[in-house]
Amino acid sequence: MKIGLIGGGAIGCYVAAELAARGLGPEAVLTRSGPEDARGSDGVLRLRRLEDLPEGITLMVDCAGHAALAEHGAAILERGIDLITVSLGALADPALAERLSAAAERGGAQLHLASGAIGALDALAAARVGGLASVTYVGRKPPRGWQGSPAEEKLDLARLDQAATHFEGSAREAAQRYPKNANVAAAVAFAGIGFDATQVRLVADPGVTENIHEIHAEGAFGTLSFRINGKPLPDNPRSSALAAMSAVAAIERRCAPITI
C-alpha cells in the first residue's frame, strides 16, 4: 500500500509519525503551505498540488479539514484512489456529499469516514437496522477547545466561570457551523438517524480539561449511553488525540487480513 496524506497540522503530523513507525510511509504529504515538490530527508515528498501526486498511490488520508475534503476529495476518488477522511462534517453539505459519492462511483473507489474522536458508532449503526427513536450527542470541551468557533460570539471564553451551552440544534447545523469541532456530531449522525434528526448540544466548560463526548440513543434495540473523555492533541486543543489515532486505525484495518 502506498499512502499519501493531506494536511500537516496536529492530526497530519501524528498520522505521518505513526505511519513511519510502522514502515508505511507516507509517500507524499499534500499541504497548502510549506515546501513545494520537495523530498525531505525522511524521504517524504511534499506537494502543493494534487496533480503532482506520484503514480501508484493507493490510499489518501485527509487530515486537513472540510475545505481540503471539498477541494481534493472528488478528484482523488475519480482517480480510483480510496480516501479516508477525518473531515466528515463536510458531508453535512448535501451537494458535496453527492459530488463525492458520484466521484467514488465513477472512479471505483471508496470514501471511508474515520470514527474520529468518538466511539460506539458500530453499535449505533447496528441499532439503526432495528429502528432508532432518538439520538442525542453532547460535546463538552474546555473553553480553549472552542477558540476560533462560533462559541466566541456567544461566550466570553477567556472569563467563563461555569459550564455554558453555546449550541443546540441538529447535527447538520452543528457540523456546518463548527467545522473544526463538530465532526463527531456528523459521525454520530451518519451512523445513526441522520444529520437532521440527530440532536446536538455543545458546551464550553471551564471545569473540564478533556474533550468529553456523549451519545444517548433509544430504539428497538434498547438504550445506549456512551461517554469518552478524550485527551487533546498537544499541538491543537480543539482536536482529540483519538481522532488522529482513528485515522491510523482505519489504515491498519485496510492492511489486515482479518478486521473488526
Ligand X SMILES: O=C([O-])CC(=O)C(=O)O
- Residues at the interface with ligand X (CB under 6 A): 116-117, 180-184, 211, 230, 238-240, 243
Minimal CB distance residue for ligand NDP: 9
Among 61, 67, 10, residue whose Cα is nearest residue 240: 10
Question: Residues within the annotated binding site for NAD(+)?
Answer: 117, 183
Least spacing, CB of residue 258 vs ligand NDP, in Å: 25
Q: CB 101 → ligand X: shortest distance, Å?
A: 22
| Shorter beta-carbon distance to ligand NDP: residue 90 or 219 | 90
Of the candidates 113, 128, 119, 177, the one whose C-alpha atom is nearest the C-alpha of residue 148 is 177
Place of cell 446536538: 200
Going 136 to 141 to 146 to 150, the CA torsion angle's sign is positive
Per the residue annotation, which of 66, 72, 112, 213 is the catalytic one?
213
Instruction: Pick what 12 binds: ligand X, ligand NDP, none; C-beta below 5 to 8 Å, kind-dependent.
Output: ligand NDP
In terms of CB distance, is 34 or 131 closer to ligand NDP? 34
Q: Is 116 helix (H, G, I), strand (E, B) or coil?
A: coil
SS3 call for 32: coil
C-beta of residue 205 within 8 angstroms of C-beta of residue 163: yes
Would residue 216 show up in a list of annotated catalytic residues for this protein? no
- Which partner in ligand X, ligand NDP, none is near 230 (CB below 5 to 8 A by kind)? ligand X
Please say whether the beta carbons of 87 and 183 come within 8 A. yes
Which position among 1, 22, 32, 35 is part of the footprint of ligand NDP (CB under 6 A)? 32
Active-site residue list: 213
Residue ranges in contact with ligand NDP by CB under 6 A: 6-12, 30-33, 63-68, 71, 86-88, 116-117, 179-180, 183-184, 235-236, 239-240, 243
